[in-house]
Structure 1
């Protein structure tokens, strides 16, 4: 495995509420990244079919006009649309991290799918806890979604948006010797100037800190809001337009020492951020501080994680399912006192 190669983070507006058009655009961007020599290309949070900014702009009754279209244009595992993404990864010999609204039965989830260079889905994860009003749209993930996978270019993990403000979730990822991390963000224009914590300063800083804490490379793709999207969602309402300005793309890539690598794109323009990375740098970073290794204070604090997939229905005649429920034992007091 070579330790030096190029990676790519996409900054592009989604084809909002149009899944098939979004697949077309994704394929073009995958091809562009591969032709530029990238071995991995990462897309932003729910890039398919776009982040539901409408949930932040008005009362529930007003939002309902978007609910049906958003549900219908969310992608399903095993669908023809997924097959097209897999083919694009395979045809171009590139790994793809795709942020999507995943439809499973009657529910939606904030998901990240990782296709390897053969087109196989090697990681299919969901955001553990949707943030604030996102919980009116999406269900939750579980500990099985805190997963780092071994690939031909290194150990790669994914988290979405404010999962990067969840210390224990981050620690669970660091402990898996993550080398490349995809930090998927939506557009960072929402509530600009009115809610500092939602802005690019804080959220880019979260990606940068993740790189330092985890001693890994971080790809932080970010979408943007176009004038057309603003007009669709705000419908001429000046107050809504102030809450959802055009732009908001602040895509970045960070090295294990926290330095930003790759050239920034203006926040209101589309493009792809590229960076040449060298995994050999990780050893130098971890030599100083490896929070889940030699820099851990294990006699004082430790993380307990349940990695079992949680299912809402377990059939009593399904032996494997029953074992899944019963095999987890509560921690012993002696262990807690160690």
Structure 2
């Protein structure tokens, strides 16, 4: 039975900019996934405590603007401090129920001073242990006004049953070299987490699956105008230019032949499940293996720096 795995994509909205309430919703989603027999549950990018939609809606690039600064403050205060145990309840659930988790969150790491924030993808194993936190290498466009760029420390894979799993955040999935780094480590179940919307997931999911001859789980969040909490700072200004739908989902699964197992699911919160068969990997690697028989390391090689970056080194 190690060749089969039950996976669940939690396509949900956050309780926007509210860490405590969003954590409660995550735990509820984990319970729903457990009831469906899930062994691996994946969540969208920046779900905890939400994506910074205000930047595009409030002239986020304006210098020293009070609205932007105060929303950024709220965002930082509701971000996740792994060292302080903010994910203890999620880890306890994983351990008690033998469920592995990929969770997209906003991290406020102590090793970078504890004030800047990163779009991170955290992996928790079935023993409830945080095994990696991958900080997004390159925030996209207006994301750079609130997220700091990460490093290569989280470019690692994890074993679950016969599967070797990897994960990348949003547009990192379009970056050829980080993908190659994951292929080189043997990934055959790739998790791509997104803030939401099928315009992101519809093409790249099948492309990565076919390029890597791997299963690809693209998991997206949901967000609508009505999901904005009534107590959100500067809500009136945000609503002035806010569309009815900010993120429509689009979670989906492609097989190692690049064909759909589950097409992008649009417009509703749900727990999407599937059973994956590892043996399909061997079939599709017969005619192409990007880092195996169809590679030329004598001609092209990739060098990856996985050192966790820090501004200072202390020698006591």
Out of 200, 205, 208, the position equivalent to 1:207 is: 205
Q: Bigger relative contact order, structure 1 or 2, given CA contacts below 8 A and separation 6+?
A: 2
Superposed CA offset, 1:262-287 (max 9, x none): 3654x221001111100111111111
- Structure 1 runs of 4+ aligned residues shifted over 6 Å read 236-239
Aligned pairs (5 A) from 1:1-338: 2-60=2-60, 61=65, 62-104=67-109, 105-152=114-161, 154-188=163-197, 200-229=198-227, 235=236, 240-242=241-243, 245-262=245-262, 265=265, 267-315=266-314, 317=315
Superposed CA offset, 1:206-261 (max 9, x none): 1221111111111111011123235857637776224x625511111111111121
Which blocks of at least 5 consecutive residues in structure 2 are unaligned?
A: none
Q: How large is the Cα RMSD of the aligned pairs?
A: 2.0
Residue matched to 1:332: none
User: Residues 40 and 100 of structure 2 are in contact (CA less than 8 Å); yes or no, is this contact kept in structure 1?
Assistant: yes
CA distance, structure 1, for counterparts of residue 140 and residue 39 of structure 2: 31
Superposed CA offset, 1:175-197 (max 9, x none): 11002111000022xxxxxxxxx
CA distance, structure 2, for counterparts of residue 213 and residue 234 of structure 1: 43
Superposed CA offset, 1:119-173 (max 9, x none): 1112221111111121111122222221112234521111000001111111111
Q: Which secondary structure does the structure 1 equivalent of 2:300 belong to? A: coil
Larger mean Cα displacement after TM superposition, 78-87 or 41-50: 78-87
User: Residues 234 and 241 of structure 1 are in contact (CA less than 8 Å); yes or no, is this contact kept in structure 2?
Assistant: no
User: Which of 1 and 2 has greater Rg?
Assistant: 1
Q: Which secondary structure does the structure 1 equivalent of 2:122 belong to? A: strand
- Following superposition, the deviation at residue 202 of structure 1 comes to 4.7
CA distance, structure 2, for counterparts of residue 85 and residue 28 of structure 1: 10
Larger mean Cα displacement after TM superposition, 55-64 or 93-102: 55-64
Larger mean Cα displacement after TM superposition, 40-49 or 4-13: 4-13
Which blocks of at least 5 consecutive residues in structure 1 are unaligned?
A: 189-199, 319-338
Closer, same or farther: CA 168–55 of 1 in aligned 2, 3 Å: same
User: Residues 290 and 296 of structure 1 are in contact (CA less than 8 Å); yes or no, is this contact kept in structure 2?
Assistant: yes
Closer, same or farther: CA 56–228 of 1 in aligned 2, 3 Å: same
User: Residues 57 and 242 of structure 2 are in contact (CA less than 8 Å); yes or no, is this contact kept in structure 1?
Assistant: no
- Following superposition, the deviation at residue 12 of structure 1 comes to 0.6
User: Residues 10 and 44 of structure 2 are in contact (CA less than 8 Å); yes or no, is this contact kept in structure 1?
Assistant: yes
**Length, aligned pairs only:** 304
Closer, same or farther: CA 153–283 of 1 in aligned 2, 3 Å: closer
User: Residues 58 and 237 of structure 2 are in contact (CA less than 8 Å); yes or no, is this contact kept in structure 1?
Assistant: no
Greater strand share, 1 or 2?
Answer: 2
CA distance, structure 2, for counterparts of residue 72 and residue 310 of structure 1: 23
